[in-house]
């Protein structure tokens, strides 16, 4: 298993930033079965397996997260001939999990419900492993909505900054400033014991700015900082005209997407709000970095060639990899105070 080789500090009981669920019942459990991960505190040594984790990168596809783990192994100098990266959750087909040094790569499926389940068990895993100073980043795909407010774009040979961009081309990377719901409100809502519970969806602004700075250092693809709209559906919930059901017109769709654009929304996906809400409740720094596969103002279907989509999906991975390497280098060589 290629899960070690880069020396990082194990979870420190004296750290001020230990991962801590807000549920007091967890500490009193004699055994905690993380059913959807096929892991249990009675059968697995969580501190030994995960105690050095500092970065958790999550994304929808198991295949993509396995590829990211292999990519990180190369980037961190941990890859070698014959290296294997086994799925830690191989006892289940719900999620996939891979570990490379201090980086945990986990799939979350599609949508809020699946992501919520994964996050509950992930946070408990990190807690049982006594992990500290953990950063969570979603690397995924999304649909773009043209212009963004207060954003920057930089590509090789050019740099632009201003109040607006003229459009988000497919392949642009969006770093989420704030996750909003389908009504453009920065909230995550669910029903608990029959009662409506609303949580804020603020993301870590300092982390987002740090990622933005990394994008300016890479110079490889356009990157913007803006709001992300999180919906509960891929078709009608995002105003698509190509689903099995459609109760509105093209004009209605354009009006809605223009309203989203006016509210500062740069892109649309299906997981950011629950990530912001749950990680925020547990005081875990979290960021969302997604590439746009199409401009939703121009169409609904993802029709780019497969090889183009593969390259697009690698862009958030390259950005986050650069961020992780930069953070690790800073930890090894702290500035003199």
| Structure tokens, 222 | 């356009």
d(CA 12, CA 8): 11
- Answer yes or no: is 238 a known binding residue: yes
Q: Which of 68, 129, 128 is nearest to 103 (CA)?
A: 68
- Answer yes or no: is 196 a known binding residue: no
Task: Please state the φ and ψ torsions of residue 7, each to the nearest 5 degrees.
Answer: -80, 120
Residues, the chain, total?
337
Q: Are 302 and 312 in contact (CB under 8 A)?
A: no
- Answer yes or no: is 223 a known binding residue: no
Q: Which of 173, 168, 140 is nearest to 260 (CA)?
A: 168
d(CA 129, CA 106): 16
Q: Which of 127, 276, 117 is nearest to 208 (CA)?
A: 276
In the block, residue with structure tokens 């982390």: 207
Which residues are within 8 A (CB) of 25 and not within 5 positions of it... i.e. 6 or more apart?
Answer: none
d(CA 193, CA 34): 22
3-state secondary structure of 127: helix
Output the known binding site for substrate: 238, 240
Output the known binding site: 94, 138-141, 238, 240
Output the known binding site for phosphate: 94, 138-141
């Amino acid at each position: 298993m290629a899960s070690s080789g880069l020396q990082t500090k194990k979870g420190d009981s004296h750290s001020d930033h230990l991962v801590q669920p807000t549920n007091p019942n967890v500490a009193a459990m004699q055994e905690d079965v993380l059913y959807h991960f096929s892991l249990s505190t009675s059968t697995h040594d969580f501190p030994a397996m995960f105690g050095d984790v500092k970065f958790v990168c999550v994304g929808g596809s198991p295949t993509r997260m396995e590829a990211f783990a292999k990519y990180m192994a190369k980037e961190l100098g941990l890859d070698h001939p014959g290296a294997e990266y086994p799925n830690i959750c191989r006892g289940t087909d719900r999620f996939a999990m891979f570990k490379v040094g201090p980086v945990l790569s986990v799939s979350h499926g599609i949508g809020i419900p699946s992501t919520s389940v994964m996050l509950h068990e992930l946070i408990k895993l990190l807690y049982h492993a006594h992990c500290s100073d953990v950063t969570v980043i979603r690397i995924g795909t999304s649909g773009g909505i043209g212009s963004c407010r207060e954003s920057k774009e930089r590509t090789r040979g050019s740099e632009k900054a201003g109040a607006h961009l003229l459009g988000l081309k497919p392949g642009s990377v969006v770093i989420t400033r704030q996750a909003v719901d389908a009504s453009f409100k920065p909230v995550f809502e669910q029903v608990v014991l029959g009662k409506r519970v609303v949580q804020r969806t603020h993301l870590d602004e300092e982390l987002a700015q740090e990622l933005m700075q990394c994008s300016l250092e890479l110079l490889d693809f356009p990157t913007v900082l803006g709001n992300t709209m999180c919906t509960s559906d891929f078709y009608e919930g995002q105003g698509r005209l190509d689903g099995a059901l459609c109760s509105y017109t093209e004009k209605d769709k354009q009006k809605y997407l223009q309203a989203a654009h006016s509210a500062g929304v740069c892109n649309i996906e299906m997981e950011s709000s629950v990530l912001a809400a749950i990680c925020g409740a547990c005081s875990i720094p979290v960021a969302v970095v997604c590439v746009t596969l199409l401009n939703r103002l121009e169409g609904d279907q993802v029709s780019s060639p497969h090889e183009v989509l593969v390259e697009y999906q690698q862009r958030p991975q390259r950005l986050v990899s650069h961020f992780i390497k930069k953070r690790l280098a800073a930890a090894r060589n702290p500035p003199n105070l």
